Amino acid sequence: MTRDPSHLLPAAEPVALIDADGRAIKGADGTAYPAPDDAALVKALGALLTARRLNDQAYALVRQGRLAVYPSSHGQEACQVAAAQVLDEGDWLFPTYRDTVAAVGRGVDPVEALSLLKGDWHCGYDPHEHHVAPHATPLATQLPHAVGVAHAATLRGEPTVVMAMCGDGGTSEGDFHEALNFAAVFHAPVVFFIQNNGYAISVPLSRQTAAPSLAHKGVGYGVPGERVDGNDMAALLAVLGAAVARARAGGGPQLVEALTYRMQAHTNADDATRYRDDAEVAAWVERDPITRLRTHLLDRGLIGPEQLQDFAAEAERVATHLRDGLNRDVEPDPADLFAHVYATPTPQLREQAALVADELSREGAR
């Protein structure tokens, strides 16, 4: 335990390295977070453009009836791209229902990533293949699981770090607080990453917490916090990269709050005009993470029109793959209802499976 909580407190202002106009912030090179290398920023821009195209395509597929629902991350893609990019191959990502971009960034096929939201499977991919846990629809339930994986890795002597993602609304859930305490006590190598987009559906942050910031919530558990501009890709890579490196070196958990904004509605079923106005949204359009990073790289001569065309072509390839995959009709097999409930089916499960099989066979004989 420590009697000096000062090292747990986040910075007074969110860490930022590039301003909304794409210019490097003067004096930022003197912060505790050095800027990422140029190659990392160029890679991130390509991933950002693909992420935006994926979001737009998924929204279109909802309107076409190919997805039941889609929680878009339009406007906050930088958080998810950065979260995936700072992890090593053996690390784990625990996403929320809005973090499709992060899962795809870890190598998950976007068609498989969206199987949950199409209504086909609870999880359409093998979590162990890419070290990506199933998307968590219930708020914050993934966080204790993430800490458990991190603690288990420590017990096995593995250098694994876990990125546990969460929204601002999730910080009001008991699972969030239990996970922070669990991680702190066991010194687990986990980074809690809060994407604070201002609203938990229609509930503004002011009705979620009276704390100075969400990053301050770690103090009570002995978890250091940090705040970062969630639309500044350079700052995100720097802060999250440092948190991952710290956890891997045995420094324990850290809480990072990214200040960003959900440009679109909570989901296609939400009417955001009922709780926010156009002027508020327009102010955040000017802080778009893609525009900011693209301007920064163009001004420095790190990319040109040809590379931007390549990025656009790759984004369109992913969108086409997603569209084609979700437009295929899959004939469900009722037996699959029982296939992945237990590793070894219980007598009750076998009885239920036999009952369904018998009913289906009798229907087929009619």
- pLDDT tens digit sequence for 277-308: 889 888 889 999 999 999 999 999 999 999 99
Tokens of 349: 């499960």
Note the pLDDT of residue 264. Answer: 87
What is the Cα 365 distance to its own chain's centre? 48
Its pTM stands at 0.93
Tell me: the pLDDT tens digits for 75-114? 999 999 999 999 999 999 999 999 999 999 999 999 999 9
Tens-place pLDDT, residues 150-202: 999 999 999 999 999 999 999 999 999 999 999 999 999 999 999 999 999 89
Distance CA(183)–CA(151), nearest Å, equals: 8
**Superfamily, domain 5-332:** Thiamin diphosphate (ThDP)-binding fold, Pyr/PP domains (3.40.50.970)
pLDDT of residue 129: 96
The DSSP line for 116-184 is: HHHTS-S--S-HHHHTBPPPB-STTTHHHHHHHHHHHHHHTT----EEEEEETGGGGSHHHHHHHHHHH
Q: Give pLDDT, residue 336.
A: 87
355 vs 7, higher pLDDT:
355
Q: What pLDDT was estimated at residue 29?
A: 60
27 falls in which pLDDT band (50, 70, 90)? confident
Exposure of 232 in the CB half-sphere (CA atoms within 13 A): 27
